[in-house]
Amino acid sequence: MAVYSIVKIGDPGDSVLREKASTVKKITPSIFKLLDNLKDTLYEANGVGLAAPQIGISKRVVVIDVGEGLLELINPEIIEYSDETELDVEGCLSIPGARGEVERYSSVVVKALNREGEEIEIAGEGLLSRCLQHEIDHLYGVLYIDRATRMLE
């Protein structure tokens, strides 16, 4: 287990933040290690979510903890979106010092694999919904600044 340095915009190697991450084909010990390292790095940074590309690993793996316990998601994808959206302020550990208003679906349902390789579904609303959408965006090389309707000072 280890705390990684988070790849930030402007760093050498920041192009990983713009790549489409690859699907995990098999859950091996290296995926367990990746999950552990993401968790340690997330908690060290006091974040609510972290995607593998943010530590330089272009795989479809994210961890999230919005205060309701750790979620480890492998190959997550959004399978349901609410009709309603909400506008709120977001930041990103890869873009220090910035915040912006982003419109997101109020609730989403995400399908993923857990570390046991079991298919799970997570229904999120509020902060969890926002965080799921933000982290899954990272897996497509999309950053919240691409979606922000307004950046804040």
Residues that bind Zn ion (CB under 5 A): 92
- Distance in angstroms (rounded) separating the CA atoms of residues 148 and 140: 16
| Contact call for residues 75 and 24 (beta carbons, < 8 A) | yes
What is the closest distance, in whole angstroms, from the C-beta atom of residue 87 to Zn ion in the complex?
18
Find the shortest distance in angstroms from Cβ 110 to Zn ion: 16
- Tokens linked to 81: 């979106």
**Residue with the closest Cβ to Zn ion?**
92
| Choice between 96 and 117, CB closer to Zn ion | 96
Q: Which is nearer to Zn ion, 27 or 43 (CB)?
A: 43
Alpha-carbon distances of 136 from 2, 61, 152, 153, rounded to whole Å: 23, 9, 23, 26
Least Å distance, CB 122 to Zn ion, is 18
- 116 in catalytic set: no
Residues forming the active site: 135
